[in-house]
């Protein structure tokens, strides 16, 4: 494993040594659903030649006109609009903070969506995988999430 740190947002995580890290260069725009795969505001990590599984992290400031609960409601509505089916819902603890966790299915992909509001920032963390591989790779997802660290501001 190797540790990568987001230069833009300051969080860090351990990922498999062979994985690549494409760094975010701008903040995730407020009031938008994060795009998967290649957005300038997404730190993207995964196998060296692309493919699955992949880990994506987008960060934005919680908008002044939105509470954490309103943000989560917005994300649920957007996920439904985009065709994501919730397979299972729950919680996950990330660096001591309880976050919303959903396992989702969408057009052959099996995703884990982790949504966290911490210190006025929103973190959207996505584990993107093939639906047929999600159960096999869940252990790696959880191992990686155990190493996620928020910035020390």
Please report whether residue 152 resides in a domain: no
Contact yes or no for 97/11 (Cβ under 8 A): no
Please report whether residue 111 resides in a domain: yes
Please report whether residue 130 resides in a domain: yes
Per the structure, how many domains does the chain have?
Answer: 1
Euclidean distance between the first and the last CA atom of the chain, given in angstroms as a whole number: 25
Structural domain range at position 108: 2-145
Residue 38 confidence (pLDDT) above 80: no
- Percentage of the chain surpassing pLDDT 70? 99
Residue 50 confidence (pLDDT) above 90: no
Name, in order, each residue with C-beta under 8 angstroms of 69's C-beta and a sequence gap of 6 or more.
none
Please report whether residue 151 resides in a domain: no
HSE, side-chain direction, 13 A CA sphere, residue 25: 4
Residue 152 confidence (pLDDT) above 80: no
Please report whether residue 150 resides in a domain: no
Please report whether residue 19 resides in a domain: yes
CATH number at residue 140: 3.40.1000.10
Query: Is the bond preceding residue 53 a cis peptide, omega within 30 degrees?
Result: yes
Residue 153 has a pLDDT of 58
Please report whether residue 54 resides in a domain: yes
Q: Is 38 left (phi over 0), alpha (psi -120 to 50) or beta?
A: left
Residue 108 confidence (pLDDT) above 90: no
Binned at pLDDT 50, 70 and 90, residue 23 comes out as very high
- CA torsion angle 129 135 140 145 (round to 10): 80
Give the mean pLDDT of 122-144. 95
- Percentage of the chain surpassing pLDDT 90? 90
pLDDT in tens, 56-83: 999 999 999 999 999 999 999 999 999 9
Residue 16 confidence (pLDDT) above 90: yes
CA distances 105 to 64, 113, 135, Å, are 31, 11, 12
Integer Cα distance of 63 and 77 in angstroms: 17
Q: How many residues does the chain have?
A: 153
More confident residue, 125 or 51: 125
Residue 20 has a pLDDT of 97
Please report whether residue 95 resides in a domain: yes
Binned at pLDDT 50, 70 and 90, residue 51 comes out as confident
């Amino acid at each position: 494993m190797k540790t990568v740190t987001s230069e833009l947002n300051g969080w860090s995580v351990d990922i498999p040594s062979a994985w690549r890290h494409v760094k975010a260069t701008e903040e995730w725009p407020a009031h938008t659903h994060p795009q998967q795969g290649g957005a300038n505001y997404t730190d993207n990590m995964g196998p060296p030649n692309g493919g699955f599984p992949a880990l994506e992290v987008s960060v934005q400031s919680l908008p002044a006109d939105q509470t954490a609960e309103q943000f989560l409601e917005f994300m649920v509505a957007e996920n439904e609009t985009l065709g994501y089916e919730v397979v299972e819902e729950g919680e996950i603890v990330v660096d001591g903070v309880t976050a919303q966790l959903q396992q989702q299915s969408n057009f052959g992909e099996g995703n884990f969506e982790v949504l966290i509001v911490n210190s006025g920032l929103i973190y959207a963390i996505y584990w993107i995988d093939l639906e047929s591989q999600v159960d096999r790779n869940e252990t790696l997802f959880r191992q990686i999430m155990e190493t996620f660290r928020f910035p020390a501001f």
